[in-house]
Amino acid sequence: MGEDFEAVLTGVGPRLRAIRQQHGTTLAQLSEQTGISVSTLSRLESGGRRPTLELLLPLARAHGVALDELVDAPPTGDPRVRLRPFVRHGWTYLPLARNLGGMQAYKMVVPAGSSRENCEQRTHEGHEWLYVLSGELLLKLGEHEVVLKAGEAAEFDTRTPHLFTNAGRTPVEFLSLFGPQGERVHVRARTANRAEKEGD
């Protein structure tokens, strides 16, 4: 029992870092939201500070997730993932996986008129894969731009400066898979035109 408890505590730090990076939040921004110092947040993520309920409760509220998701509470036998959507800057996130410490999966909905084009591109460790379900998604990678439509996918190293936003007049819905560096999703985007040409 003691070993299981220590394993749970050890996994909290990586999950905290992963969910913060997925939301595009800096340690300084999270510190402002929670009142927890940047140094304490940094030590929590690196495992140098033992997580306590006093620290985890404001972090769960700031991230819009349930407390049991931060501590990765053992499943009760039900394999279904209980979706708890949360909203950040007008974007809706629906978590599709329990394990926030490794590969993460989200369905994201960006309403029409919601734009991040004036925001700066960001970089961080990891690899991301996007698949558009409906609408149009503008993906900026460094100096390059591409508009992904329903049925199209893209993958990229998140150390490349990147930004994505709604490119159309209707909401865009897409799936996002994100994992630590090395956990690449080996799927390449194929445009509708390429697929038609290859089918000829």
Most confident by average pLDDT, 2-11, 62-71, 140-149: 140-149
Q: What are 108-158's pLDDT values in tens digits? A: 899 887 655 556 788 877 788 899 999 999 998 888 999 999 999 998 888
pLDDT greater than 50 at residue 65: yes
Residue, of 199 and 66, whose pLDDT is higher: 66
Torsion of CA 38, 42, 43, 45, to 10 degrees: 140
110 against 90, higher pLDDT: 110
Describe the strand order of the beta sheet including 144-149 as a list of residue ranges: 144-149, 136-141, 162-166
Q: What pLDDT band is residue 99 in, cutting at 50, 70 and 90?
A: low
Spatial strand order of the sheet with 104-110 comes to: 86-88, 91-95, 104-110, 172-179, 127-134, 153-157
**What is the per-residue pLDDT for 112?**
83
Query: For residue range 150-186, what is the model confidence (pLDDT) as tens digits?
Result: 999 998 888 888 888 898 889 999 998 877 654 444 3
Tracing tokens 């400066």 back to the chain, one arrives at: 161
Q: Determine the pLDDT at residue 94.
A: 81
pLDDT greater at residue 70 or residue 110: 110
Residue 76 pLDDT > 50? no
